[in-house]
Amino acid sequence: MPTLPGVLTQFTLDDLTASLLIGSLVLLVSVTAVRLSVRSGLPSLLLFLGIGLLLGEAGLGITFDNASLTQVLGYSALVLILAEGGLGTSWGTIRHSVAPAAVLSTLGVVVSVAAVAVAADLVLDIPWTVALLVGAILSSTDAAAVFSVLRTVPLPRRLAGILEAESGFNDAPVVILVVALAGSSVAGGETHPWWYLTLEAAAELVGGALVGLALGWLGGWTLRRVAGTSSALFSIGVVALVVLAYAVAASIHTSGFIAAYLSALVLGNMGLPHRAAVHGFSSALGSIAQIGLFVLLGLLASPKDLPGQVVPALVIGFVLLLVARPLSVVASLAPFRFQWRDQAFLSWAGLRGAVPVVLATIPVTLGTAGAERIFDVVFVLVVIFTLIQAPTLPWVARRLSLVESVQQVELAVETTPLEAMGADVIQVTIGDDSKLHGVEIFELRLPPGANVTLVVRDGKGAVPQGRTVLRHGDQLLVVTTADVRQRAEERIRAVDRDGRLAGWA
């Protein structure tokens, strides 16, 4: 049976041929599996993990047990995934959510770690330090998994913003915490008091944030002035800047992950040229990184060892889902006066993705006692609770009346002509409960510079007039100048919420 090489020094042309054959087939199968993911409502990560398990020792027989290589490739993949997330995040969407998301990614992590550690200590019968390590590994959430389920369920901006920002922020403090706890859990490892770890983590986060913000702004300023006509080369330059931010921050012992995300966030909101090309390129790299990472984690897992960890994973998982996550949400969001419905949804939406499984390789590489069992428990927990939470998220959002009746979608079009004119395009879908139904185009009272240019109804498009009446299910194209786009979005949402009299009261 084929064996994936753990060391590339002996990598031959025959190995290259076999790797390209397997890799291309895996990518094609994974791309096809995404369609099944959309239909079933399950995050694609489960399908990619399943592909890895099928390729592994219990399936086609490919053997792979290099946890160190998995960790290195996992970190590389996370940088690209953070680059995609930051470049694709609108500052206008998350600016009001930054503070609560930052608290949820720090204080919330501490609360979650403590609650899960109690359960891990009781269930796994492990030292308290190792129990805290398990809690830290499981404290990182994955908003990408949430949004893969909620593609067709538009969330309010406040919730979407928190989920997006939390996913970008929480990887950095969690990685710092896991590395510190894993090191202290090794026999003879160096231990530090909690206040020392807190100060060290704060210094790494602040330093990484400064590096990311500085390189993002300076790099974007430079790229804007040297940008040529090649959107492909420009896209490569933008992603390279994000990778550079990670490398610079990590090389000076600060948080590379927060540097990568913040640099990407700055670059994505600077109004740089070739925006569609940059987003397309980063999205493609992020997708390849996710597929490769999940398949690799599936390969690393040993299916014969997983069934024995189902019961511990269930117990710890239910503590995480029903106790730790709600406590962290309530403790973090209490000062921000979020409604109980918002807190309930955020508690249920704390899906775990690839990050906990990647972090579970750290104690394996350091030689922590019982590290293999920890990896198996985390792997099983992620799979089981994704199956439990993911299919129910749309239902929970609807039951809590959190689904917006109007959905605005970014268009992936070639934007060079639009950029030259300082224009932008918004796509709007009118939902079943929207008060846009029955409103005439002129009653929208969009700001000067914004106009509805196309209405698609029952698959047929028409250029609307001022007296054209909007209906449930209509899709609109709104063309705006760049400086009034935000006002146009706010006006559409206001009419959707309050009807044609929005703004009069």
Taking only the tens place, the pLDDT of each residue in 293-331 is 888 888 888 888 888 889 999 999 999 999 999 999 999
What is the C-alpha to C-alpha distance for residues 494 and 487, in angstroms, rounded to an integer? 10
Residue 3 domain-assigned?
no
Of the candidates 230, 335, 316, 219, the residue with the CA atom closest to the CA atom of residue 270: 219
Enumerate residues 6+ apart whose C-beta is below 8 A from 49. Answer: 294, 295, 297, 298, 301, 383
| pLDDT over threshold 60, residue 3 | no
**Is the pLDDT confidence value at 17 over 70?**
yes
Give the pLDDT of residue 259.
93
SS (H, E, C) 443-495: HHCCCCCEEEEEEEECCEEECCCCCCECCCCCEEEEEEEHHHHHHHHHHHHHH
Q: For residue 111, is pLDDT > 60?
A: yes
What are the backbone dihedrals phi and psi of residue 472, each rounded to the nearest 5 degrees, phi first?
-55, 135
- What are the backbone dihedrals phi and psi of residue 137, each rounded to the nearest 5 degrees, phi first? -60, -35
Domain endpoint, select from 342, 364, 399: 399
- The CATH code of the domain that includes 413 is 3.30.70.1450
Last residue within a domain, chosen from 399, 428, 445: 399
Through-space distance between the first and last CA atoms of the chain, rounded to whole angstroms: 73
pTM to 2 decimals? 0.76
In-domain check, residue 198: yes
Residue 414 pLDDT: 44
One domain for residues 307 and 287: yes
Residues 354 and 485 in one domain: no
Query: Does residue 471 belong to any structural domain of this protein?
Result: yes
pLDDT > 70 in the chain, percent: 87
Q: Do 153 and 248 lie in a common domain?
A: yes
pLDDT in tens, 262-274: 999 999 888 888 8
- Per-residue pLDDT for 348 more than 80? yes
Contact (CB, 8 A) for 78 and 255: no
Count the domains in the chain: 2
Contact at 8 Å (CB) between 411 and 397?
Answer: no
Residues 164 and 144 in one domain: yes
Q: Check whether residue 413 and residue 394 sit in a common domain.
A: no
Measured CA to CA, the distance from residue 228 to residue 239 in angstroms comes to 16
> What distances in angstroms separate CA 281 from CA 34, 45, 284, one per listed residue?
18, 20, 5
Decide if pLDDT at 247 tops 90.
Answer: yes
pLDDT in tens, 145-154: 665 655 556 7
Looking at residue 413, its pLDDT comes to 43
C-alpha 225/C-alpha 272 separation (Å) is 10
Domain assignment of residue 43, yes or no: yes
Rounded to the nearest 5 percent, the helix, strand and coil shares of the chain are 70, 5, 25
Task: Judge whether 248 and 260 are in contact, CB under 8 Å.
Answer: no
Q: Provide the 10 A C-beta neighbour count for residue 22.
A: 16
User: Are 430 and 476 spatial neighbours (Cβ–Cβ below 8 Å)?
Assistant: yes
Host domain of residue 438: 408-501
452 and 318 part of one domain: no
Type of residue numbered 412: A
**386 and 414 part of one domain:** no
Say what the pLDDT of residue 330 is: 93
DSSP 283-340: HHHHHHHHHHHHHHHHHHS-GGGSGGGHHHHHHHHHHIIIIIHHHHHHHHHGGGT--H
Same domain (yes/no): 326, 454: no
If asked whether residues 218 and 157 sit together in one domain, one would say: yes
Please report, for residues 88, 126, 222, 258, 287, the alpha-carbon distance to residue 241 in angstroms, rounded to integers and kept in the order given.
Answer: 15, 42, 11, 14, 19
**Residue 246 above 90 pLDDT?**
yes
Q: What is the phi/psi pair of residue 174, to 5°?
A: -65, -45
Mean pLDDT of the chain: 82
Look at residue 477 and tell me if it is in a domain: yes
Residue 140, SS3 per DSSP: coil
Q: What is the CATH number of the domain that holds 194?
A: 1.20.1530.20
Residues 302 and 434 in one domain: no
Does 223 reside within a domain?
A: yes
Whether residue 111 is found in the same domain as residue 29:
yes
**Is the predicted pLDDT of residue 412 greater than 50, yes or no?**
no
What gap in Å lies between CA 352 and CA 338, rounded to an integer? Answer: 23
Do 297 and 425 share a domain, yes or no?
Answer: no
Residues with Cβ within 8 Å of 183's Cβ and at least 6 positions away in sequence, in order, are: 189, 190, 366
What is the mean predicted confidence (pLDDT) over 408-437?
Answer: 67
In a domain, 425, yes or no: yes
3-class DSSP state of 438: coil
Sign of CA dihedral 489, 491, 494, 498: negative
- Report, as an integer, the average pLDDT of 150-162: 72
Q: What tens digit of pLDDT does each residue of 174-186 get?
A: 888 888 888 777 6
Q: Which residues of 201-239 are buried (b: 16+ CB within 10 A; e: fewer)?
A: beebbebbbebbbbbbeebbeebeeebeeebeebbebbb
- In 57-144, DSSP assigns E strands to none
pLDDT in tens, 424-462: 788 888 888 888 889 999 988 899 988 998 999 988 888
Strand 460-462 to 450-457 pairing: antiparallel
Last residue of one domain, picked from the residues 399, 425, 444: 399
How far is CA 297 from each of CA 48, 130, 334, 372, rounded to the nearest angstrom? 9, 22, 37, 13
How high is the pLDDT of residue 75?
A: 87
In a domain, 346, yes or no: yes
